[in-house]
Amino acid sequence: MCGIFGCILRKGDAAPIIHSALKRLEYRGYDSVGEATLQQEKLLIKKDEGKIDEVHALHNLDDLPGRIGIGHTRWATHGAPSRVNAHPHTDCTEKIAVVHNGIIENFLQLRRELEELGHLFQSKTDTEVICHLIEEEMSGGKPLAEAVRGAVKRLDGSYAIAVLSTSEPDKIVCVRKESPLALGVAEDAVYCASDIPAFLPLANKSVILQDGELGMLKDEGYELRKIDDWSLVTREPEVIDWTPEMAEKQGYPHFMLKEIHEQPLCLRNTLRLQEQYLELMTTFLDRAGEVFLVACGTSYHACLAASYMFSKLAMLATYPVIASEFVEQHGRAVNIESTILAVSQSGETADTLAAVEWARKRAATILGLTNTIDSTLTRVSRVYICQQSGPEIGVAATKTFTSQLSVLSQLALRLAKKRGKISHEEIEDLEEKLEHIPNIVDTIIESQEEKVKQLAKKYRDKDCFFFLGRGVSSASALEGRLKLLEIAYAPSIAYPAGESKHGPISLVEAGFPVVFLCPRDGTRKTIVGNIMEMKARGASIIAIIQEGDEEIKGLADDYLEIPEGLPEILSPIPYVIPLQLLAYYMAIERDLDPDKPRNLAKSVTVQ
Ligand code: BG6
């Protein structure tokens, strides 16, 4: 997830405006930055690796002439952070400049085609193909906007782009497909940006581009057209009533809630990961002697859930291990036959890296799953996958957890296919259901959020909570517990439900809240038994159930519903959403700041 910006000013230089707008977009990505302006039909570009302040100190981002320009702050997905991979990218003639937010899935095939036509590529990014495609279209005589239209029609994936060209120096052309894009309209200027915060101090009216729409920004304002049939779209600007602080959270009161709501988009991104890395990692897992899934905190819970997926789908036994215990628990057994799949959204957690380092020294194979390209984990991994969730600002991991689960389940499915452990029909069915998960998460947030708010209000004064689940849901229970504990400071205990009667049940008394995860899977009969055990001791049962599950509805004091049609092995993704919301609203009820819980850090880089 990157931030793009563009502006056409009646007077004055665009560069300082672009610089400050990118600062307001920096939470979207901060590993490299760049801008381009047009002056006397010449394209002027400044870009480099590093945070905006660092690049500004080196290159002075305010010092570029021209009243028309575009800018970009990057969260690397394809091609490590570097000057050559920073945006804007240009075509062979350096007459066209493009900034992009999103993922071009078919960029490798397009690149090969364009190279055969003689185009020379500078960077390792997916974005650069767009510049050369526009160049191809324009060399056929098309005006800029139609050339951009022709180019984006060749693209698969998600994109918000802004384009400058020296042949039409009075315009910016921008297009949206899935990645967000908004126009800002002011008396003496017009802007385009990944979101409203970028131009909020400059314009109080905005126009949101819909998927498949192209915007042409000119001195006299903007024109919108549909990419499909090139028909004109009329849309009046709407007044924006946000404070800048609010804007950075896109109208959400906290980053955590914003990131919970971003999960459908992030999950769609995980379904577009580069085939070759998924395949390569699957091959390494297939060849592995033994596999350790190593991580901390929420990432460890993703590993625990994955151990059920690998076993059930691919009959691969894996060892989920809390990183800080790895050396003590398995250190001496690790050898050249061992494979470590280290999971870390930051890619910088010291305990996880220490476990990896120990194993590397014993010739083990290191695989990495992270959300941060160019993080240390990417550098020590034989193969790594970047999960494309974009920056996560809230200290408590939410969107990165469900994205980790999506990637891990895809690996388990691929391994099952490679090993022929389950039938093709089953694999196709699971793949189709995985594609459907982003919509299901959308529905859960829409249909259950209000109910969760009421639950948080009802149980806000409770001293302690239980989270119980069976099978893969025991991982979801642990994650639900961690969220409530770390965000709302509510003492909470999670157990595989079967284990609860071997001790923890002694805590239960009348009104004691017990959260049960009850997907309709092979554990259903026994989970109903556990609910009865807790009810017999007066517990208040909060059940996360599949829609229309009348039996458990009848047993529960409160319940939250998950849409039908999900294979049990993928249930941790949707079933954790209500638990994330419960922790968030419980923190609000207790007047706590969900974004900055006490004593915690987003990434602990000390052991
Ligand atoms: C903790 C964070 O510091 O580190 C947790 O507060 C996170 O949210 C854990 O799950 C592990 O972080 P990472 O970056 O290795 O996934």
Q: Does position 244 have pLDDT exceeding 80, yes or no?
A: no
CA separation for the pair 219, 189 (Å, rounded): 7
Tokens of 236: 């009046």
Q: Does position 247 have pLDDT exceeding 70, yes or no?
A: no
Q: Which of 315-319, 477-481, 565-569 has the lowest mean pLDDT?
A: 565-569
369 lines ligand 1 (CB under 6 A): no
Which of 345, 348, 401, 402 for mutating ligand 1's site (highest number of atoms within 8 Å of CB)? 345
Residue of 2, 174, 296, 386 with catalytic role: 2
Q: Does position 176 have pLDDT exceeding 70, yes or no?
A: yes
Condensed to tens digits (0 to 9), the pLDDT of residues 451-508 reads 999 999 999 999 999 999 999 999 999 999 999 999 999 999 999 999 999 999 999 9
296 lines ligand 1 (CB under 6 A): yes
Enter the pTM of the model. 0.76
**Per-residue confidence (pLDDT) for residue 139, from 0 to 100:** 94
CA of 490 to the centre of ligand 1 (A): 19
Q: Binning pLDDT at 50, 70 and 90, where does residue 221 land? A: very high
Reference 400, options 470, 312, 296, 275; nearest CA is 296
Instruction: Give φ, ψ of 168 to 5 degrees.
Output: -135, 70
Contact 202, 10 (CB under 8 A): no
CA separation for the pair 120, 114 (Å, rounded): 8
Interhelix angle 52-59/15-24, nearest 10 degrees: 160
Instruction: Give φ, ψ of 68 to 5 degrees.
Output: -125, 130
Q: Binning pLDDT at 50, 70 and 90, where does residue 241 land? A: confident
Which of 255, 294, 298 for mutating ligand 1's site (highest number of atoms within 8 Å of CB)? 298
- Read off the DSSP letter of residue 501: G
Spell 2-28 as b/e; 16+ CB within 10 A means b: bbbbbbbbeeebbbebbbbbbbbbbbb
Q: Which of 161-165, 299-303, 345-349 has the lowest mean pLDDT?
A: 345-349
Query: Going by C-beta distance under 8 Å and a sequence separation of 6 or more, which residues neighbour residue 338?
Result: 288, 289, 290, 291, 292, 359, 362, 364, 365
Tokens of 480: 């639900």
**Per-residue confidence (pLDDT) for residue 30, from 0 to 100:** 78
Q: Does position 569 have pLDDT exceeding 70, yes or no?
A: yes
CA of 502 to the centre of ligand 1 (A): 30
Q: What's the residue count for the chain?
A: 607
CA of 455 to the centre of ligand 1 (A): 27
The three-state secondary structure class of 58 is helix
CA of 198 to the centre of ligand 1 (A): 29
Is 2 one of the annotated active-site residues of the chain? Answer: yes
605 lines ligand 1 (CB under 6 A): no
Condensed to tens digits (0 to 9), the pLDDT of residues 353-407 reads 999 999 999 999 999 999 987 788 998 999 999 998 888 888 999 999 999 999 9
Q: pLDDT over 70 for what percent of the chain?
A: 99
The three-state secondary structure class of 75 is coil
CA separation for the pair 368, 379 (Å, rounded): 9
Which of 303, 401, 603 for mutating ligand 1's site (highest number of atoms within 8 Å of CB)? 603
Tokens of 500: 């609860």
**Per-residue confidence (pLDDT) for residue 56, from 0 to 100:** 96
Reference 86, options 115, 136, 52, 62; nearest CA is 52
Q: Binning pLDDT at 50, 70 and 90, where does residue 603 land? A: confident
Within 116-231, strands assigned E span: 157-165, 172-177, 182-186, 189-193, 205-208, 213-218, 221-226
Higher pLDDT, 180 or 130: 130
Tokens of 579: 């638990």
Atom number, ligand 1, closest to the C-alpha of residue 486: 6
Query: Going by C-beta distance under 8 Å and a sequence separation of 6 or more, which residues neighbour residue 113?
Result: none
CA separation for the pair 511, 153 (Å, rounded): 59
464 lines ligand 1 (CB under 6 A): no
CA separation for the pair 267, 246 (Å, rounded): 25
The three-state secondary structure class of 364 is coil
Instruction: Give φ, ψ of 408 to 5 degrees.
Output: -65, -35
CA separation for the pair 75, 174 (Å, rounded): 20
CA separation for the pair 481, 484 (Å, rounded): 5
Is 518 one of the annotated active-site residues of the chain? Answer: no
**Per-residue confidence (pLDDT) for residue 59, from 0 to 100:** 95
604 lines ligand 1 (CB under 6 A): yes
Q: What integer best gives the mean pLDDT of the chain?
A: 93
CA separation for the pair 342, 359 (Å, rounded): 11
Reference 433, options 571, 311, 567, 577; nearest CA is 567
Q: Does position 562 have pLDDT exceeding 80, yes or no?
A: yes
352 lines ligand 1 (CB under 6 A): yes
**Per-residue confidence (pLDDT) for residue 168, from 0 to 100:** 95
Tokens of 588: 């609000």
Q: Does position 18 have pLDDT exceeding 90, yes or no?
A: yes
Within 105-251, strands assigned E span: 157-165, 172-177, 182-186, 189-193, 205-208, 213-218, 221-226, 232-233, 238-239
Residue 465: its H or E element: strand 465-469
Q: Binning pLDDT at 50, 70 and 90, where does residue 64 land? A: very high
Condensed to tens digits (0 to 9), the pLDDT of residues 110-146 reads 999 999 999 999 999 999 999 999 999 999 899 999 9
Q: Binning pLDDT at 50, 70 and 90, where does residue 77 land? A: confident
Q: Does position 604 have pLDDT exceeding 90, yes or no?
A: no
Residue 319: its H or E element: strand 318-322
**Per-residue confidence (pLDDT) for residue 243, from 0 to 100:** 67
Q: Does position 248 have pLDDT exceeding 80, yes or no?
A: no
Tokens of 415: 């391994």
Atom number, ligand 1, closest to the C-alpha of residue 397: 8
CA of 586 to the centre of ligand 1 (A): 21
Interhelix angle 572-589/424-459, nearest 10 degrees: 10
**Per-residue confidence (pLDDT) for residue 26, from 0 to 100:** 84
